[in-house]
Amino acid sequence: MTHDAPFGTRLRRAMDERGPLCVGIDPHASLLAAWGLDDSVTGLERFSRTVVEALADRVAVLKPQSAFYERFGSRGVAVLERTVADARAAGALVVTDAKRGDIGSTMAAYAESFLHRDAPLFSDALTVSPYLGYGALRPAFDTAREHGAGLFVLALTSNPEGAEVQGARRADGRTVAAGVLDDLAAENRGADGLGSFGAVVGATLAGLADAPLDFGGPLLAPGIGAQGATPADLPALFGPAVRRVVPNVSRGVLRHGPAPAALRGAAERYAEEIGRAVTGS
């Protein structure tokens, strides 16, 4: 698989070869402590290196949460740079979870930070927020297309506060979230196979039957494990779109560290459960 292929093509290949599991890298202070690490840049780096070395050669996607690196300032961002680069070098696709969303030249700068191939933080995909208006994300779509990267746009998030915006009705009668998903269908139109522009849809939600999930791109589904959703829930929740779902597990895997073998074992168990649920075998 060439790195010049679009993100959607590379993601489909990784999901078919390794299974669709995405493991979040969320080095929050309590997890560092549980691993016996200091809440410091040194602890951050040891945590991140351990996860990458244990999992990057076997899971489809790793998803570092940028906030847990940014809180340490420039030294923490430097650890994020190394984490992203090392994970990609070992064969995992990296989705940086930064949830950027802004307007004009600022959005363009965010896009260049994460989606330009020459950027130190270049990632295979980036999470973005459309709630300054979907059109404000245009610089991110343009930069991603130019550099073979992808986006995951927040659509139906699992936090209860999200419903007041995402469930609001537009003038045309659609919910805001449905409008986002319909707009993503336009972005993915003409893609050869899986599109590069996905949505974030929580696996802990209910009643997705009316959501327009057939937009051609991947569905990043947080909430498996510690938040209460299970792999067995995926087919009923996502229906025919389940083959495009990238289930995200963070604490459910990371709590088994710091032993690399234990991290690998937890990831393998989730991958097997997800595989059985998705394929029905």
| Domain ranges (residues) in the chain | 7-279
Query: Which residues participate in catalysis according to the annotation?
Result: 99
Dump pLDDT digits (tens) for 207-240.
Answer: 787 899 999 999 999 988 877 889 999 999 999 9
The DSSP code for 40 is S
Of residues 124 and 279, more confidence is placed in: 124
Class of domain 7-279: alpha beta
Evaluate if residue 3 carries a pLDDT over 70: no
In sequence order, the β-bridge partners of residue 248 are 22
Following DSSP, what letter does each residue of 185-223 receive, concatenated?
A: HHHHTT-SSS-SEEEEE-TT----TTS---SSS-EEE--
Residues of the chain with pLDDT > 70, as a percent, come to: 98
- The yes-or-no verdict on residue 99 having pLDDT over 70 is yes
Q: What is the pLDDT of residues 31-65, one digit of tens each?
A: 999 999 999 999 999 999 999 999 999 999 999 99
What percent of the residues of the chain are helix, what percent strand, and what percent coil, each to the nearest 5? 50, 15, 35
Residue 170: CB atoms within 10 A of its CB come to 10
3-state secondary structure of 281: coil
State the chain's mean pLDDT as an integer: 95
pLDDT at 133: 96
**What average pLDDT score do residues 92-97 get?**
98
With contact defined as beta carbons under 8 Å apart, do 234 and 245 qualify?
A: yes
- Its pTM stands at 0.96
